[in-house]
Every structure is written in structure tokens, then in C-alpha cells.
């Protein structure tokens, strides 16, 4: 039987994220939130973070929200609302910043997939810290997926479904960002391990 983290302290932040993404999608805010390199360069700096909460169509939204639910089911107990919000903010900032710095040809972006790749890496590393073999499998599996995407390029079929190019570079940057966010969120536990 599944032991889902349904306690209020674990489920509140993912639910807020889900409802916020739905509201942004269902209103004219979506276009105001998406990553647009040109507009960001002209002072609309919020787009670096807000782009991750905007979606190209309903399929894109549903796929990303399914990812939120899956990650919550796997690792929800690792985050209270404050820690979850901090992880999301940092992952959004690092992923958006990485896209801006390292991929100048990427002029438009929206969606949670980069952030979700980072969040799953954070959870996998916490699993590893706890000695769970599944954490190592998840960590390796995510990196194999990303390596394949970097080699083969974005999925044309998924791109058609979501009516946008799949930003595999956001997946890569998000996963790398996940390592840094893990280190930030768990620095006390890491220090204890080093001193032992």
C-alpha cells in the first residue's frame, strides 16, 4: 500500500503550485509570465522565475502537473511548505538564469519541466543520503534520460502535443541546479557527514 505524504505540511505547497499554474494558464497572465529573452533584456526580470509557471497549452500544463504530483508522491515528505517554496524559487532562478547565460539562442521558454528535473534530483540525492538504493537508481536514470535528450534532441512528437519545442537544455540546467539546491537545503546534514 502506498504511504503518501498527505499531512498538511507536505501537501500544501504542491497544491498551491498546482492551483497557481492553473490560474496563470487560464488567465491572460500566461503571456506576461513566459520567458522572453528580448523582454527580459529590456527590464522584465521577473520572467526569469515566472516562466516556469506558464504553459503553452493544456497538454503541457497537464504533463507538468502530473510531474508535480509524481514528485510529491515520491519525495513529498522531504519538504515542508517553506522548504518546498525555497527549492522551487531557487530552481526557477537557477534554471532561468542558466538558460539566459548559456543558451542565448533560446528566445522563448515556459513550463515547469526544468524545475521538475531539479526537484527530482534533490529528492534522489536525499534518498541517497538516507541510504536508499532507489535514490541512486533515480539519480542515474534522470541523468541517462538527459544524456539521451542531449544526444538525440527534443522529441518532435511531444513538441507537437505541447505546441512548443521541448527545451531539453532546461532539463539539463534544472538537473544541475538540483545538485546545488540539494547542497543548500541540506548543508547542515552534509557538514555533519564530513565531520564524522
* Tens digits of residue pLDDT in 57-93: 999 999 999 999 999 999 999 999 999 999 999 999 9
Q: What number of residues does the chain have?
A: 196
DSSP 55-112: -SSHHHHHHHHHHHHHHHHHHGGG--HHHHHHHHHHHHHHHHHHHHHH-TT--EE--S
Cell readout for 57 is: 497549452
User: Of residues 8 and 190, which shows the higher confidence score?
Assistant: 8
User: Is 127 inside any structural domain?
Assistant: yes
Total number of domains constituting the chain: 1
**Domain-located, residue 15:** yes
Residue 1 placed within a domain: no
Q: What's the CATH code of the domain at 175?
A: 1.20.1540.10
pLDDT, tens only, 27-43: 888 889 999 999 999 99
Q: Is residue 32 part of a domain?
A: yes
Could you tell me if residue 3 is inside a domain? no
Question: Phi-psi bin for 131: left (phi > 0), alpha (psi -120 to 50), beta?
Answer: left
Residue 134, C-alpha cell as written in the block: 532507489
Instruction: Examine residue 2 and state whether it is found in any structural domain, yes or no.
Output: no
Tell me how far apart the alpha carbons of residues 60 and 193 are, in angstroms, rounded to a whole number: 40
**If DSSP codes are grouped into helix, strand and coil, which group holds residue 36?**
strand
Q: Can you give the pTM of this predicted structure?
A: 0.92
Which residues constitute the domain of residue 46?
A: 8-195
Amino acid at each position: 500500500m502506498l504511504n503518501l505524504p498527505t499531512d498538511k505540511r507536505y501537501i500544501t505547497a504542491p497544491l498551491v503550485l498546482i492551483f497557481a499554474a492553473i490560474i496563470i494558464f487560464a488567465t491572460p497572465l500566461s503571456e506576461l509570465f513566459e520567458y522572453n529573452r528580448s523582454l527580459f533584456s529590456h527590464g522584465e526580470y521577473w520572467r526569469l522565475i515566472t516562466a516556469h509557471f506558464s504553459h503553452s497549452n493544456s497538454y503541457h500544463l497537464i504533463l507538468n502537473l502530473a510531474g508535480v504530483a509524481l514528485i510529491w508522491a515520491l519525495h513529498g515528505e522531504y519538504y515542508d511548505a517553506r522548504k518546498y517554496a525555497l527549492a522551487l524559487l531557487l530552481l526557477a532562478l537557477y534554471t532561468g538564469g542558466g538558460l539566459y547565460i548559456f543558451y542565448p539562442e533560446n528566445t522563448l521558454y515556459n513550463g515547469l519541466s526544468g524545475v521538475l528535473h531539479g526537484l527530482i534530483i534533490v529528492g534522489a540525492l536525499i534518498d541517497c543520503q538516507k541510504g536508499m538504493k532507489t535514490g541512486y537508481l533515480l539519480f542515474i536514470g534522470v541523468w541517462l534520460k538527459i544524456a539521451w535528450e542531449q544526444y538525440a534532441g527534443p522529441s518532435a512528437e511531444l513538441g507537437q502535443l505541447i505546441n512548443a519545442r521541448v527545451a531539453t537544455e532546461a532539463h539539463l540546467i534544472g538537473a544541475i541546479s538540483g545538485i546545488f539546491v540539494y547542497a543548500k537545503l541540506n548543508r547542515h546534514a552534509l557538514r555533519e557527514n564530513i565531520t564524522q
